[in-house]
Structure 1
Amino acid sequence: MMWKIQLFKLNFDHRERDAVLETVDSGWLTMGERILGFEAAFGDYLGHGARCTAVSNGTAALHMALLALDVGQGDEVIIPALTFVADANAVRMVGARPVLADCASRSDWNVSAESIARKITPRTKAVIVVHYAGFPCDMPAIAALCRERGLKLVEDVAHAPGASIAGQMCGTFGDVGCFSFFSNKNLSIGEGGMVVACDGNLSQRLRYLRSHGMTTLTLDRHKGRAATYDVAEPGLNYRMDEIRAAIGLVQLDKLPAGNLRRKELTERYRRNLAGSPLQMPFDNLSADVVSAYHILPVLLPQACDRMGVIEMLKTAGVQSSIHYLPFSGFTAYREYFTAQDAPLAEEICSRELTMPLYPTMSDREVDLVTGALLGAVA
């Protein structure tokens, strides 16, 4: 299928290509100087004392976060009902039980402190929040709730690199921030992620978890800085490689401008769809909130045939997607969740449709997409 307007396009040019070639020519591909540079640059970008550890993907970051926070058998972890399955999978993989918190409202699809508080039990050990579509959760309220109740707080920032509240970047409010650099993300390197902690001891534990618990790296031995190593604690191999770090440095430099363009495109979508039966969430951001505008979700009218709309868009050459399917419909989670656990999220999941959004998209392409969408819905 050749799409006229696809859901996402890479924001790549000769700079990413040159960075890859330079890395290959350097003769060093495993974790090395480019990883260190990417971690330092990302930490500077986030500020707030963020200590960054580059990892193989965003799910690895989530798994490491829960391990580092000692979440395990018998614990419960509250997660958003509207999110990708990776959040629930990571909780299951450490032996804990995921518990769903509902969306705040039909206009704010994130979890709120109130929706989280309703799900806290004596078994609750941690909370994972997701800044859906790049729009920040109410982190001051959620962080205060977690402090008050003695809960660990993990931010899944896969949608939101560059999003902030009152000047503080998402990913620095909780105990651990988890970023994804998957192909369709705002900062894209194919596969990869970053796990972030502001506490030095927690950051060190994350670094041990990333690479077998080893106290020195292959690079240290190559550079003659160490002759051997110790294993401080059991760890995994969740390392990133130099090629992806090199691409990441270029993409990080492009991120602010890319996010700004995403904002402009989102505002054009809003203008084009104003007064229609379609709704767009997060339409009333406060002045101190900055979104990363990761995806463009719309809420179809009730009783609208979503699959019919998708097929009509496909006929028009416009790619669309769904973010996300409900947990209650997955074979692996039917024994864990029902539609009544988070009724608002269930409704949103049944009516949501994601439209194309990427920094190189043109205004004309937005107009073509919204025209096709309004025609399909009509």
Structure 2
Amino acid sequence: MIPINKPILGKEEIKAVAKVIESGALTNPAPEGGSVCRAFEQELASYCNAKHAVACNSGTAALQMALMAAGVGPGDEVIVPSFTFVATASSVLLVGARPVFVDIDPDTYNMDPEQFRRAITPRTKAVVPVDLYGLPAAMDEIKEIARQSGIIVIEDACQAQGASYKGKMAGTLGDMGCFSFYPGKVMTTGEGGAVITDDDELAERLRRIRTHGQVKGYDSVMLGGNFRMTEMAAAMGRVQLKRLPGFLSARERNATLLLEMLDGSDLKLPEVPDGFRHNWYLFTAKCKTNKERESLKSSLLEAGFGVAVYYPIPLHRIPVLVEYSNHSLRISEEAAETVLSLPVNPVISYVNLEMMTNKIINHIKFKK
């Protein structure tokens, strides 16, 4: 099976992790983290052209930490898109706030700025636009709307490391930006995440929050948790970050080839607006109907191509969140019924792309 995504690890990552294990310093409970974690943070911040990177143990932790640092809590509302992974909304619940779901742009699958504007109430404290599939959201419009109402912007860039928007790196487009380094992402630390910010005060709060609100130790001055990144994960991350440009180049090459190969097919192909740069974490096409999507998905899986649906149920319809929405979000619901993600990761070959394309085109023709 050709996977939709997979971690790409080698001897250098193994050597870096083994060095940490041999040292015995596997983690560090200080707010500033261990020496390997600090080095990773400095290199990540430099890569993003940002002032601060605060590493943690998952993308979900990054989102929760950012919300906590922003002072979001009970009684507050946080506006989020419905068409995304559950962590975008569950992190809001974890800090005691209420998620407010809005619909998406049908071409980019990202938050529709006008829907964000309409959802604002006096209780709105933050907005979390998602850079879905690795394409940044329309951040200029979202930030301007947020500025007018004094709303904090937390960019969910968990899928978008290496992408950019009008020359600025994903993760740096809001007051804070959140990354995930889950094994399926464009780079990995095994499990891990980070919050990016240029704000000194927020960075200090984030470092305290990730280790129980402590300043020096056993002196918690605010609520926090154990959100620390281990030294082993940071060691892996340092190596992966060096390899990231090569990973992204391969993804862009494969996505460009697939766009050319599928041009003229009945599928709605991904669109990248002017001024945006996609990282091609996921290449997501759209079928005309759910029946067509499910048939094509089954055919490709049977042929050994690890296609997947992200996401089959919009968040306002999943059991744990359904109570927070009593209205339809038509575009999100339609996308959940019809999108299909195809592999463009660095391990797929030109021959594989040709075979997958032929399978898609022949299947669609046969089913007409």
TM-score (norm 1): 0.91
The match for 2:78 is 77
Q: 1:347 to 1:333 in 2, by over 3 A?
A: same
Which secondary structure state, in structure 2, belongs to the residue aligned with residue 130 of structure 1? coil
1:91, CA displacement in angstroms? 0.9
* Deviation sequence 1:316-344 (CA, Å, 0-9, x none): 1111111112124311122223561x211
- CA RMSD of the aligned region, Å? 1.6
What is the CA–CA distance in structure 2 between the aligned matches of 1:149 and 1:126, rounded to whole Å?
A: 10
What is the CA–CA distance in structure 2 between the aligned matches of 1:118 and 1:311, rounded to whole Å?
A: 39
Taking only the aligned residue pairs, the percentage that are identical comes to 36
Q: Contact between 1:48 and 1:168, CA under 8 Å: does it hold in 2?
A: no
1:199, CA displacement in angstroms? 0.8
The match for 1:296 is 283
Q: Contact between 2:76 and 2:123, CA under 8 Å: does it hold in 1?
A: yes
1:187, CA displacement in angstroms? 1.4
The match for 2:318 is 330
What is the CA–CA distance in structure 1 between the aligned matches of 2:212 and 2:343, rounded to whole Å?
A: 40
The match for 1:262 is 251
- Which of 3, 8, 13 is equivalent to 2:10? 13
What is the CA–CA distance in structure 2 between the aligned matches of 1:21 and 1:142, rounded to whole Å?
A: 44
The match for 1:56 is 57
Q: 1:337 to 1:244 in 2, by over 3 A?
A: same
1:168, CA displacement in angstroms? 1.4
* Deviation sequence 1:91-122 (CA, Å, 0-9, x none): 11112111112112x32211132221121112
- Which of 362, 367, 374 is equivalent to 2:354? 367
Give unmatched runs, 5+ long, in structure 1: 217-227
Residue 38 (structure 2) pairs with residue 36 (structure 1): yes
What is the CA–CA distance in structure 2 between the aligned matches of 1:138 and 1:314, rounded to whole Å?
A: 33
The match for 1:221 is none
What is the CA–CA distance in structure 2 between the aligned matches of 1:318 and 1:96, rounded to whole Å?
A: 40
Q: Contact between 2:54 and 2:207, CA under 8 Å: does it hold in 1?
A: yes
TM-score (norm 2): 0.93
The match for 2:115 is 115
1:206, CA displacement in angstroms? 0.6
What is the CA–CA distance in structure 2 between the aligned matches of 1:229 and 1:260, rounded to whole Å?
A: 46
Which secondary structure state, in structure 1, belongs to the residue aligned with residue 188 of structure 2? coil
Q: Contact between 2:187 and 2:244, CA under 8 Å: does it hold in 1?
A: yes
One-letter identity of the residue aligned with 1:43:
A
* Deviation sequence 1:12-61 (CA, Å, 0-9, x none): 22111111111212221113211010000001111142x11110100001
* Deviation sequence 1:204-261 (CA, Å, 0-9, x none): 0111100012223xxxxxxxxxxx6632222210001011101100110111121121
Which secondary structure state, in structure 1, belongs to the residue aligned with residue 320 of structure 2? helix
Which secondary structure state, in structure 2, belongs to the residue aligned with residue 372 of structure 1? helix
One-letter identity of the residue aligned with 2:69:
A
Give unmatched runs, 5+ long, in structure 2: 29-33
Q: Contact between 2:316 and 2:322, CA under 8 Å: does it hold in 1?
A: yes
Question: What does 1:1-378 correspond to in 2, within 5 Å?
Answer: 3=1, 5-31=2-28, 32-49=34-51, 51-104=52-105, 106-216=106-216, 230-282=219-271, 284-286=272-274, 288-324=275-311, 325-338=313-326, 340=328, 342-377=329-364, 378=367
1:303, CA displacement in angstroms? 5.0
* Deviation sequence 1:160-181 (CA, Å, 0-9, x none): 1111123211211211111100
What is the CA–CA distance in structure 2 between the aligned matches of 1:366 and 1:339, rounded to whole Å?
A: 40
What is the CA–CA distance in structure 1 between the aligned matches of 2:94 and 2:290, rounded to whole Å?
A: 37
The match for 2:31 is none
Moved more, 89-98 or 152-161: 89-98
One-letter identity of the residue aligned with 1:271:
E
What is the CA–CA distance in structure 2 between the aligned matches of 1:125 and 1:213, rounded to whole Å?
A: 22
One-letter identity of the residue aligned with 1:290:
R
* Deviation sequence 1:302-326 (CA, Å, 0-9, x none): 2534333222222211111111121
Q: Contact between 2:270 and 2:283, CA under 8 Å: does it hold in 1?
A: no
What is the CA–CA distance in structure 2 between the aligned matches of 1:332 and 1:74, rounded to whole Å?
A: 19
What is the CA–CA distance in structure 2 between the aligned matches of 1:338 and 1:319, rounded to whole Å?
A: 35
What is the CA–CA distance in structure 1 between the aligned matches of 2:326 and 2:53, rounded to whole Å?
A: 37
Q: Contact between 1:339 and 1:346, CA under 8 Å: does it hold in 2?
A: no
Which secondary structure state, in structure 1, belongs to the residue aligned with residue 173 of structure 2? coil
1:131, CA displacement in angstroms? 0.6
Q: Contact between 1:326 and 1:349, CA under 8 Å: does it hold in 2?
A: yes
The match for 1:220 is none
Which secondary structure state, in structure 1, belongs to the residue aligned with residue 75 of structure 2? coil
